[in-house]
Amino acid sequence: MFSRKGRCMSDQFKITLAQLNATVGDLKGNADKVMKAWEKARDEQSNIIAFPELFITGYNPQDLILKPAFQKASTETIQKIAEACSQGPAIAVGGPFCDEKNLYNAYYILSGGKIQAVIKKHHLPNEEVFDEVRLFSSGNVDGPFQVDQMRIGSPICEDAWHSDIVETLAETGAQTLLVPNGSPYYRGKTEIRQNVMVSRVVESGLPLVYLNLVGGQDDQVFDGGSFVLNPGGELVLQMPQFEESVETCVFKKSAGSWKAEVGHKSRILEPLESDYFAMVMGLRDYCKKAGFDRVVIGLSGGVDSALVATIAADALGPQSVRAVMLPSEYTSKGSLDDAAELSTNLNCRYDYLSIEEGRLAISETLSDLFKGTKTDLTEENIQSRLRGLLLMAISNKFGEMLLTTGNKSEVSVGYSTIYGDMAGGYNPIKDLYKTRVFDICRWRNENTRPWMKASGINVIPINIIEKPPSAELRPDQKDSDSLPDYFILDGILKILVDEDGTIEDCINAGFREEDAKRIQKLLFMNEYKRYQSAPGTRLSKRAFWLDRRYPIVNQWSE
């Protein structure tokens, strides 16, 4: 318990919410963000400024958090912040806490130059991308802490999704709930979060502050969207999604209880826009935090590479994007024209490198060894791998990270060439089914936003969106030669991947048994490719990597 007399009137209390972008492992950079935001809260005469879960270390730190030297440095960083911010508002910030035996996911309360309280997370999530059971110990349920005239209970992220922690806090005298989060985006999650938090408010009768992290970390994107609810569930403040923001919420006391005043309410984004913003932020932060300021993309004249190029231009700026067309004799004039038009629309650099001479040289090199064999997929893959070689050479020479362009439909069934078009460092559309790729392209052509660095609408040529998809690795090739139509393929994959369903589930949904069995076989047999694929923006609860972990060698079949 602690208080600082004379800060504010006894019937008013200010909480500043720092919805900021932390970087995993950047203790100094994250601490600098704390200090800068604290100065703003001090100028506004706030009582406390709050930061999200594990903000000091960045989230999700994975096994980095198990390194003793990192734990020690994190704790020392928090202590230094406390000492430097002794005169002004209290600070609530997430970081690791170690005792003699255990490591905890904790929330530190700093005031008067000292660490005044440490709240330890009790419920540890062990699903989807979360693996906290192997990283942390479960803490005891801590009671509320006091800052000036308010008693605050802080259930850390998952703790607020369970009624027991909030019930205990209410029973032990909490007057407001402050919930720090590291909650990554997936489509539709904003509504889910608010519904759960309304339940906690209704059950406890207390106002609730939901504070979320923002920014990209590997495959995960934290979408912010912090909010404040009053007793009864009224939404009184809504912070923006996918953007850093520092806002102060004023609470007033009346008849012995606290309520928040109505503040600014940012717009909640509809699903296509939120997916697109997530991909832009995911790529932007991946490049920034990994030390890349430029990217290179192999254009095909198709819709996938067009969307990735547009995302890159919006994320980094057109001047930071190099688009390369690598045609063979099978590349149509339409694809050449479409790729050039896209580059012009985006105002990014466009290079043209024919692979024909290289392909002929490789064919000649292999001719004696392949003598007497039939031309097959091998020769098609040589083209893709030659393109990958050239693009990686450009990446190495100019320090530009290569982006891959396979959508979730292709990644699922292995309709991609390992060490070829799968080569690269990041894939923004890895969790985007092909049918949704078309929807996102149309949305982007109709919309522009201040956070987009490429200008204008209608940047993706309509012919790219409307023409039949083709890898163009043999004469008159169409994707439909090898795969079911994408609306069928995606429908089956949503059942098998997103819902973990069965062949029977596919049949009951109206799909042919032979199609479902074939897709399931392709899904299982291409696990090895996904293990070697680039990370990409997570948009759903069943993204490939941490959400869905299957063995490479798998002989099971329905």
Q: Which listed residue (14, 120, 121, 259) is catalytic? A: 121
| Amino acid, res. 426 | Y
Torsion angles phi and psi, residue 150, rounded to 5: -120, 135
Planar angle of CA 530, 470, 545, nearest 5 degrees? 15
Widest CA span of the chain, in angstroms? 91
Active site residue 157: yes
Give 75's contacts (C-beta < 8 A, 6+ positions apart): 95, 96, 97, 98
CB 519 within 8 A of CB 489: yes
What is the chain's alpha carbon radius of gyration, rounded to the nearest angstrom?
Answer: 26
> ω into residue 60 within 30 of 0, thus cis?
yes
Give 10's contacts (C-beta < 8 A, 6+ positions apart): 149, 253
User: Could you give the 3-state DSSP secondary structure of residue 227?
Assistant: strand
CA pair distance 413, 496, nearest whole angstrom: 12
Which tokens is 259 given?
A: 């309520």
Q: How many helices (H) and strands (E) does the chain have?
A: 16, 19
CA pair distance 169, 208, nearest whole angstrom: 12
CB 520 within 8 A of CB 558: yes
Q: Which listed residue (85, 157, 249, 506) is catalytic? A: 157
Give 405's contacts (C-beta < 8 A, 6+ positions apart): 297, 298, 300, 304, 305, 307, 308, 421, 427, 429
CB 515 within 8 A of CB 401: no
CB 110 within 8 A of CB 87: no
CB 283 within 8 A of CB 315: yes
Give 24's contacts (C-beta < 8 A, 6+ positions apart): 57, 58, 59, 60, 61, 64, 217, 289
CA pair distance 123, 138, nearest whole angstrom: 7
Active site residue 53: yes
DSSP 255: T
CA pair distance 109, 158, nearest whole angstrom: 19
Give 108's contacts (C-beta < 8 A, 6+ positions apart): 78, 82, 91, 92, 93, 94, 95, 97, 115, 117, 118, 119
257's enclosing H/E stretch is strand 257-260
* 328 half-sphere exposure, CB direction, 13 A CA radius: 18
Instruction: Pick the closest to residue 157 from 235, 94, 234, 225 (CA basis).
Output: 94
Q: Which listed residue (33, 53, 348, 400) is catalytic? A: 53
Residues designated catalytic: 53, 121, 157
